[in-house]
Amino acid sequence: MLELTSVSEVHGVVAKVLQECQNGLAGRAITVTFPGVADRGAALRAAVEAAGEHAAEVGASARRHRTGIDLTVPLAFVTVAVDADRLVIAGHHRSGEDGARQAVPLPTTTGTTGTTDQPAELDDQSAELWDTADWILGLEPRRVSPADGDRLRALLDGDSRLLATAAADALNAAGDPAVPRFVVEHRPDEVLGAAQPSDRRFSQSWESRVSVDEYALFEATHPAYAAQMIMLGRMVRAHSAGTPDRILDVGSGPGLPTVMLAELFPHSKIDAVEPSPAAYPYLCHNVAGWPIRPHHAGIEEFTGDGGYPLVVSVGTSHHLDTRVFLRSLARLVDRNGLVMVADELIGAFETEEERSSNIARHHMVYIDEALAHVQADRLPQVESARLRALRKASSLPPDALAGLLAEVRRDRPVHVGAAGGWQRVRFAVLELEALVAGIAYDVERKTYPANFVRMARAEGLELVDHRRVYGTVGTRPGDAGTHLFVLRPADPA
């Protein structure tokens, strides 16, 4: 039973059930009451109207009936009905006309090496960066020679954020918890921006659940962060006739992947769209001097120049209503263009327990990888204590992780000049924030790869190619990890 104080909150509960079910949950039901409202009958009637408003906003079909309203989207059905003095919001996942879960074939290529793509030719300005990026991704962690290690450490100090981030990832995999110089020298007080949660939906806004200031500082220590961008660049070259003159980057956040995109395609003009009032100042700061034009807007409202030959989104789809997000990408891409979505997805699920377990196992791999080689005795005291607490995470059940998060979120100074990889400890806190938010279904609305492809297809985008860039749980192409999807607008015929 969920007690609400106003009818306006119903809008968010309907969104929650609809998104949970379209993302794969077999069924979900929430009973709502309004204990503090004098005229409950009027409140219930208004609540049904609010459900109809949500249907119109997300493009769901709506059918009114005697007790309420039914909402239908391609992969979910939700009914909102008045039952005595309460409101029942119940939904279920639907896949295929008979409701059965259908397998969606995915390409079998896994990882970042061994691609048979034949990329387009590069000019001299890009060739050296690409050659170095491909060299880093081709390294085997346990066979990094001393000379290779020296070359990687030199890249940490270079001007390329793509190569520095990729080099740090390779060194960490080889046993050295290195971080790029631009992370070491980053000063969050250079950018003025405060979290201003503004989402009126069921979810709390991103900046109220994840520390944006720290995300801007430590995101470069995320495993496979640069690898997904290098693979994305490879896919663009493999599936495009030439370098796109215009690129739309959706959900740019503080802007690190956007800058990497500009490094990979220096002759392209990039429109970067970011709705978060906390992340947007970082985006503007970080893209200054690049051919990148930032826009403070939500993707549903953004129009831009239209008909982009390439639309890119990295790490964003699970923060939004994924189906509506895909609809927006389909609206903005040229009919002969490409859509590239890189994001973290989890293993298939049907129940809330399965989803929570899959989310926890997925994020725990990133936490363990980030902390694997960090030594407590080389850290500032507060980070050493935090590291010891975080290393208990994998032994805790999902419902105990919120308590651990409350413990490790305390007292988080910036250690100017300190070495030892303390930034990786703080990245692990961010990852735990995402894990806990994912279990609560706040700002982390993860689905699984086959269901993502179904949603894309329902919004007019067909799968062209797919890579599981970094695997977390399982070994199959459709299992959990960082995924890259290449999509094209479907042929209207």
pLDDT tens by residue, 303-329: 887 799 999 999 999 988 999 999 999
> Rounded CA gap, 238 and 117, in Å?
6
User: pLDDT at residue 252 above 60?
Assistant: yes
Q: Mean pLDDT lowest for which of 10-14, 201-205, 286-290?
A: 201-205
Please, are residues 425 and 460 in contact by the beta-carbon 8 Å criterion? Answer: no
Q: According to the model, what pLDDT value does residue 110 have?
A: 46
For 120-130, write each residue's pLDDT tens digit: 556 666 889 99
* Model confidence band, residue 246 (pLDDT cutoffs 50, 70, 90): very high
* Model confidence band, residue 203 (pLDDT cutoffs 50, 70, 90): very low
* Model confidence band, residue 105 (pLDDT cutoffs 50, 70, 90): low
More confident residue, 430 or 212: 430
Q: According to the model, what pLDDT value does residue 194 have?
A: 42
b (16+ CB within 10 A) / e for 480-490: bbbbbbbbbbe
Please, are residues 328 and 454 in contact by the beta-carbon 8 Å criterion? Answer: no
Q: According to the model, what pLDDT value does residue 107 have?
A: 60
DSSP E strands, 346-480: 461-471
> Rounded CA gap, 251 and 261, in Å?
13
Element of type H or E holding 363: helix 352-371
The Cβ of residue 39 has, within 10 Å, a number of other Cβ atoms equal to 10
Please, are residues 18 and 91 in contact by the beta-carbon 8 Å criterion? Answer: yes
Provide the greatest CA pair distance for the chain: 76
Please, are residues 312 and 332 in contact by the beta-carbon 8 Å criterion? Answer: no
User: pLDDT at residue 99 above 50?
Assistant: no
More confident residue, 208 or 461: 461
For 432-481, write each residue's pLDDT tens digit: 999 998 888 766 789 999 999 999 999 999 999 999 999 999 999 999 99
> Rounded CA gap, 342 and 314, in Å?
5
* Model confidence band, residue 26 (pLDDT cutoffs 50, 70, 90): very high
More confident residue, 124 or 349: 349
The Cβ of residue 256 has, within 10 Å, a number of other Cβ atoms equal to 27
For 289-306, write each residue's pLDDT tens digit: 999 999 999 999 898 877
Q: According to the model, what pLDDT value does residue 188 have?
A: 62
DSSP E strands, 123-240: none
Structural tokens at position 47 = 């609540």
- What torsion, rounded to 10 degrees, do the Cα atoms 472, 475, 480, 486 define? 110
For 354-368, write each residue's pLDDT tens digit: 999 999 999 999 999
Q: What is the DSSP letter of 476?
A: S
Q: According to the model, what pLDDT value does residue 202 have?
A: 37
Domains and CATH numbers, the chain: 2-93 (3.30.310), 103-493 (3.40.50.150)
Q: Mean pLDDT lowest for which of 3-7, 75-79, 292-296?
A: 3-7
What is the pLDDT of the chain when averaged over all its residues? Answer: 88
Please, are residues 324 and 354 in contact by the beta-carbon 8 Å criterion? Answer: no
User: pLDDT at residue 255 above 80?
Assistant: yes
Q: Scanning the structure block, which residue is given the tokens 């109207």?
A: 49
Please, are residues 279 and 253 in contact by the beta-carbon 8 Å criterion? Answer: yes
| Count helices and strands in the chain by DSSP H and E runs | 17, 13
Vertex 417: Cα angle to 413 and 418 (nearest 5): 70
- CA Rg value for the chain: 23
Q: What is the DSSP letter of 454?
A: H
pTM beyond 0.85, yes or no:
yes
User: pLDDT at residue 112 above 60?
Assistant: no
Element of type H or E holding 6: none
> Rounded CA gap, 131 and 134, in Å?
5
Residue by residue, DSSP assigns 238-304 as: HHSSS--SEEEEES-TTSHHHHHHHHHSTTSEEEEE---TTTHHHHHHHHTTSSEEEE-S-TTT--T
Structural tokens at position 278 = 């906390």
**Mean pLDDT in residue range 380-393:** 95
